Structure 1
Amino acid sequence: MGNVLSFGELLLRICPDMDGQWLQENTLPFYVGGAEANVAAALSLWGVPSSYLTALPGNFLSDQVVSYLGSRAIQTDKILYHGNRMGLYYLPKGKDLKNAGVLYDRSGSAFADLRPGLIDWDDVFEGVSWFHFSAICPALSQGVAEVCEEALVAARRKNITISLDLNYRAKLWQYGKAPLAVMPALAQHCHLIMGNIWAAHTMLGIPLDEELIAGRDKESLLQHARLSSAEVIRQYPNCRTVANTFRFDYGEEGIRYYTTLYSKEGLTCSREYMADKIVDKVGSGDCFMAGLIYGFHKNLPLPQTLEFATAAAFIKLFTLGDATNSTVAEIHETMSSYAK
């Protein structure tokens, strides 16, 4: 297979503490992030040829961040330089991106100001066999939504495999379009769709049976995952595989986590992981997505692909920062230890 290209907004995550101690200490932790950049970083770390496309202003800060990506062996030569600013987001330490505490500062960024015609997709897709993006991209602006459509049409024309992560961030959909007005047209191009049963309902209109899953018991959730995934494939015939993640709080600071993968072979469920305490929730879903792409890139059987992706996502919960630092060997070690 060729190169895996991830497309999305490169961000800086700034992490103040909830007590305001950062004001007294004059220190403010930050991380380089963005959902698609996290996927690119994981794939590169795991030995998959990985490139990343975003839009950045032409200044020294962009140069430094792009150099950082390059140090992680991510190809960045197709990045578009235009506009005036890089996107930011603020997330208090230990909080989840779905938490009300997240603050986005992305309006007017170089990426949010993208519009059709700025990117030469024929050039960008040279040597690319897989294209990945997430629902965060079209959430930013009408222009970016149109650029996503432009990219997907070009990718389909070149027979490139396309993956979509149904990240739903309610705070980002602010330009007058609801997800259901945008995402179905984009999803029709995709071969692998990842998310969960709630995101599939919100973004693709897949029915959600609240009565079936009212108790949140695993058997009912797996049944719903099977039904929901089958409906995704029925409504979006280009889609061959649907992945769902189930992550629930466990105790005060712990996590309960398992996943599914659905294809013509039926539903596969991962082993279940539990932890009493985690470090950082950000980037776990991106790591799972990268794990799926890794498995397909290596032609692994579907159950092995799912277990690798799930273990990779789980151990990311114990790593500070947006992107994973776990190697393939460490992920396999986690898989082995939880199999006992």
Structure 2
Amino acid sequence: MGKVLCFGEILLRYSMGENFPQEQDMNAYVGGAESNVALALAKWNIPVSYCTALPDNFLSDKILAYYKENKVETTATIKSGERIGSYYLNQGADVKNAGVIYDRKYSSFSELKGSDINWEAIFEGVTWFHFTAISPALNADIATLCEDALKVASKKGITISLDLNFREKLWKYGSDPIIVMPNLAKYATVIMGNIWAADRMLGIKVDDKIANTTSDADLLIEAENSSRAILKQYPSCHTVANTFRFSEGENVKYFTTLFQEDKLYNSKTFHTDKPIDKVGTGDCFMAGLIYGIINKEQPQAIIDFASRAAFQKLFIKGDATTLEATEIIKLINQDE
């Protein structure tokens, strides 16, 4: 089995308690979308490597030691710059929340240039490359660096997955995602996101009637239409997945779809009114897709595993899942 290589920024997430700063209860978590995928895959015994940039200091060393302890290879990490990127988010809130505060300018990762990475060397032994729309949202240099990686990966026949994470607050350097992302998505063989991200970033239009509905039936139809449009627009892509998560107060509704082999598959619909941490659920789902595809599971088994893993992430504090694959499979079997 070859390695999965994840490329992206390691971030520190600072989450404040309800009584901050009267009670100084701010917690720090190591995370980042691509990092969460890498840690999940390592937890599920998939060989995985992480490529990022960190400053050369003791904090970076402690973070890299944490990845090593969790079976994520970090030899592709570049020591450069002076800052680790971070963001601030209230405990339990969604990363798409309007209140999220990013502190990522001038971070080591954001200051990477094309000459800093030898993709030919880094892709040695790699059979899967994962990146997200968050990295090219940072600046034009990182977007170009992503394209450089994709060209080499595509030439080598490496499977490429793209998560269409849309972070409006990050796209501030003058290029709209609809200009940048289609040029990167054309290399992807697996695309994950949701119908609204595909509209905003790839120009795959959402039916106007969907704006005011959370009906599973209507959303399943739109997911199939969007998936077919993506496959038509990007011939390299063979798999499209969508996540649907709706929150009203503490009540969360969650389900997902997978379009593969000219057929739409969907998960069961999950509900909870006791979420602990909403950060990282989509990343956990992405990791589940990679896990299932690498293990050559049938489409329904892939979507069942990825969805259950993602839903259970709602009850785990921190950015990445801590569940073993066997624990997730046990929960799936209990559902049947």
CA contact (8 A) 1:56 1:86 kept: yes
- Aligned residue for 1:163, secondary structure, equals strand
Which amino acid is the alignment partner of residue 267 of structure 1?
L
Match of 1:10 in 2: 10
Counterpart CA distance in 2 for 1:328 and 1:300 is: 14
Match of 2:257 in 1: 260
| TM superposition shift of 1:18 | 4.0
Which amino acid is the alignment partner of residue 124 of structure 1?
I
Counterpart CA distance in 2 for 1:237 and 1:19 is: 51
Which amino acid is the alignment partner of residue 100 of structure 2?
V
Which digits, 9 at most, give the CA deviation of each residue in 1:144-186, with x for residues without a partner? 0000000000100111000000000000101111100100000
Counterpart CA distance in 1 for 2:107 and 2:90 is: 22
Match of 2:153 in 1: 155
Matches within 5 A, 1:301-340: 301-339=298-336
Give the CA RMSD over aligned residues: 1.1
Counterpart CA distance in 1 for 2:301 and 2:74 is: 30
Match of 1:58 in 2: 56
Match of 1:106 in 2: 104
Match of 1:179 in 2: 177
Which digits, 9 at most, give the CA deviation of each residue in 1:28-83, with x for residues without a partner? 21100000000000000001001111011111111111111111010001101111
Counterpart CA distance in 2 for 1:272 and 1:338 is: 11
Matches within 5 A, 1:270-309: 270-309=267-306
| TM superposition shift of 1:213 | 5.2
Match of 2:131 in 1: 133
| TM superposition shift of 1:84 | 1.0
CA contact (8 A) 2:143 2:180 kept: yes
| TM superposition shift of 1:14 | 0.6
Counterpart CA distance in 2 for 1:284 and 1:338 is: 19
Unaligned runs of 5+ in 2: none
Counterpart CA distance in 2 for 1:125 and 1:281 is: 32
Counterpart CA distance in 2 for 1:113 and 1:120 is: 16
Counterpart CA distance in 2 for 1:255 and 1:98 is: 15
CA contact (8 A) 1:213 1:221 kept: no
Counterpart CA distance in 1 for 2:75 and 2:280 is: 24
CA contact (8 A) 1:213 1:224 kept: no
Which amino acid is the alignment partner of residue 310 of structure 1?
S
Aligned length: 336
Which amino acid is the alignment partner of residue 8 of structure 1?
G
Counterpart CA distance in 1 for 2:301 and 2:321 is: 20
Counterpart CA distance in 1 for 2:10 and 2:223 is: 31
CA contact (8 A) 2:243 2:254 kept: yes
Counterpart CA distance in 2 for 1:139 and 1:334 is: 36
Unaligned runs of 5+ in 1: none
Normalising by structure 1, we get a TM-score of: 0.97
CA contact (8 A) 2:17 2:25 kept: no
Matches within 5 A, 1:196-235: 196-212=194-210, 214-235=212-233
CA contact (8 A) 1:57 1:86 kept: yes
Which amino acid is the alignment partner of residue 14 of structure 2?
I
Match of 1:239 in 2: 237
Question: Does residue 19 of structure 2 align to residue 19 of structure 1?
Answer: yes
**Percent identical residues:** 50
CA contact (8 A) 2:289 2:302 kept: yes
Counterpart CA distance in 2 for 1:300 and 1:264 is: 13
CA contact (8 A) 1:273 1:338 kept: no
CA contact (8 A) 1:284 1:316 kept: yes
Counterpart CA distance in 1 for 2:23 and 2:207 is: 49
| TM superposition shift of 1:214 | 3.0
Counterpart CA distance in 1 for 2:211 and 2:89 is: 30
Which digits, 9 at most, give the CA deviation of each residue in 1:85-143, with x for residues without a partner? 11011111111111111100000101111121210001100000000000000001111
| TM superposition shift of 1:211 | 1.5
